[in-house]
Amino acid sequence: MGAGAPSRCAGDVAPPDDDALAALDDDALRLAVNEACREISALQARLFVYLREIERREAYQEDGAGSMAEWLGTAGAMTRSSAVTLARAASNLRRLPALESALRDGALSLDQVSPLAEVATRENDAWLASEARDWSPGRCRSFARRERSAKQEAEQEAHEKRFFRISERAGGTWRLSGLLSADAGAIVATACQREAERMEPDSITSTWEPYEARMADALCALVGAGAQAEEPGRPSLFIHVDAGVLGREAGAAGNGIVEAEGGRLGLFPLCGETARRLACDSTWQLLAEGTDGQPLGLGRTQRTVPSWLRATLVQRDGFCRFPGCTNTRLLHAHHIQHWAKGGRTDPDNLVLLCLRHHRFVHEAKWELRGNPNKALEFIRPNGTILRSNVPPRRNRAPSERPGAAPEPEPRGSPKRPHGEARELRRLPNRDGP
Q: Identify any residues that bridge with 377 across adjacent strands, giving them in sequence order.
A: 369, 387
Where exactly are the structural domains of the chain? 25-156, 306-400
The pLDDT of 219-234, averaged and rounded, is 63
As a whole number of angstroms, the distance between CA 96 and CA 65 comes to 27
- pLDDT tens digits, one per residue of 152-211: 677 777 778 889 988 878 777 888 999 887 777 878 888 888 888 877 777 666 778 888
What does DSSP assign to residue 330?
S
CB atoms < 10 A from the CB of 390, how many? 20
User: Any idea which of 192-201, 226-235, 323-332 has the lowest mean pLDDT?
Assistant: 226-235
As a whole number of angstroms, the distance between CA 368 and CA 51 comes to 59
Q: Which CATH fold would you assign to the domain 25-156? A: Arc Repressor Mutant, subunit A (1.10.10)
Contact 243, 289 (CB under 8 A): yes
The length of the chain is 433
As a whole number of angstroms, the distance between CA 89 and CA 48 comes to 8
- pLDDT tens digits, one per residue of 341-358: 777 888 888 999 987 888
As a whole number of angstroms, the distance between CA 96 and CA 13 comes to 29
As a whole number of angstroms, the distance between CA 126 and CA 106 comes to 16
pLDDT band at 139 (very low <50, low <70, confident <90, very high): very high
- Measured in whole angstroms, the distance separating CA 100 from the mean position of its chain's CA atoms is 35
pTM: 0.39
User: Backbone phi, then psi, for 166, in 5-degree steps?
Assistant: -140, 130
- Which residues fall within 8 angstroms of residue 380, CB to CB, at 6 or more apart? 366, 386
Q: Identify any residues that bridge with 317 across adjacent strands, giving them in sequence order.
A: none
Beta strand 163-168 with 174-179: parallel, antiparallel or unpaired?
antiparallel
